[in-house]
Chains A and B, each alone.
Chain A
Amino acid sequence: GAVVSQHPSWVICKSGTSVKIECRSLDFQATTMFWYRQFPKQSLMLMATSNEGSKATYEQGVEKDKFLINHASLTLSTLTVTSAHPEDSSFYICSAIPTGRSPLHFGNGTRLTVT
């Protein structure tokens, strides 16, 4: 149980375009989802906490106008990287928790390459 699906697995886009990444909880409802970013050989850094029906909470240093998060339902959160630049190339991973104290369940991640 507690499966999180993330799509797409990888995407290549041109600089200046926008990319949308979807994160779905398949067998549970998630009022909260988390978006992480991981650069090569580095740890996972929390970008934002996505809250169903309300605004996302962004971590310090993360531009909310660049990384748009929408959590319109209890099973879907989306991250849109707007006006992508090469420095946005990274591994983006979403996660969700079935209950408040449960461990994180991760999607398979999206490898974004901006050319």
Chain B
Amino acid sequence: GQQVMQIPQYQHVQEGEDFTTYCNSSTTLSNIQWYKQRPGGHPVFLIQLVKSGEVKKQKRLTFQFGEAKKNSSLHITATQTTDVGTYFCAGRGSGGYQKVTFGTGTKLQVIP
């Protein structure tokens, strides 16, 4: 079945440093979504990417969808303590309606 892996699993950064998490799917995706989950909370939707090579920005966050629609990345510029949490990518399979498979997640810790 479809597998979605993320690296790194954990990342500790000093406040103000940049952070990137990478997402790779075993199969081609129709779209990819990114979620953030704080400890004890539920995943909160950040963004959805649909087109091959698409790049979207949300303030300090930059999201990319690979040309082959099998990988994606999330880059945070100048991290802040409010960025702490686990970031999940979630891919929807291609070819009609498909379920959404979550990536393994990257836990970000920001050291003030």
Contact = CB atoms under 8 A, between A and B. Distances in A.
A43 B31 contact: no
A36 B104 CA distance: 14
Interface of A: 34, 36, 41-46, 49, 60, 93, 100-101, 103-109
Interface string B60-75: 0000000000000000
A2 to B, nearest CB: 9
A67 B97 CA distance: 24
9 closest cross-chain pairs (CB), A and B: A44-B102, A106-B42, A109-B42, A103-B33, A103-B45, A103-B48, A43-B102, A43-B105, A43-B104
Bin chain B's interface residue count. Answer: 20 to 34
21 contacts: A34-B100, A36-B102, A43-B102, A43-B104, A44-B43, A44-B88, A45-B102, A46-B100, A46-B102, A49-B99, A93-B42, A93-B43, A100-B97, A101-B30, A104-B35, A104-B43, A104-B90, A105-B45, A107-B42, A108-B42, A109-B42
A57 to B, nearest CB: 8
Nearest to A57: B99
A104 B45 contact: yes
B1 interface: yes
B7 to A, nearest CB: 13
Nearest to B88: A43
A60 B99 CA distance: 13
Contacts of A34: 99-100
Interface string B70-94: 0000000000000000001010100
Contacts of A108: 41-42
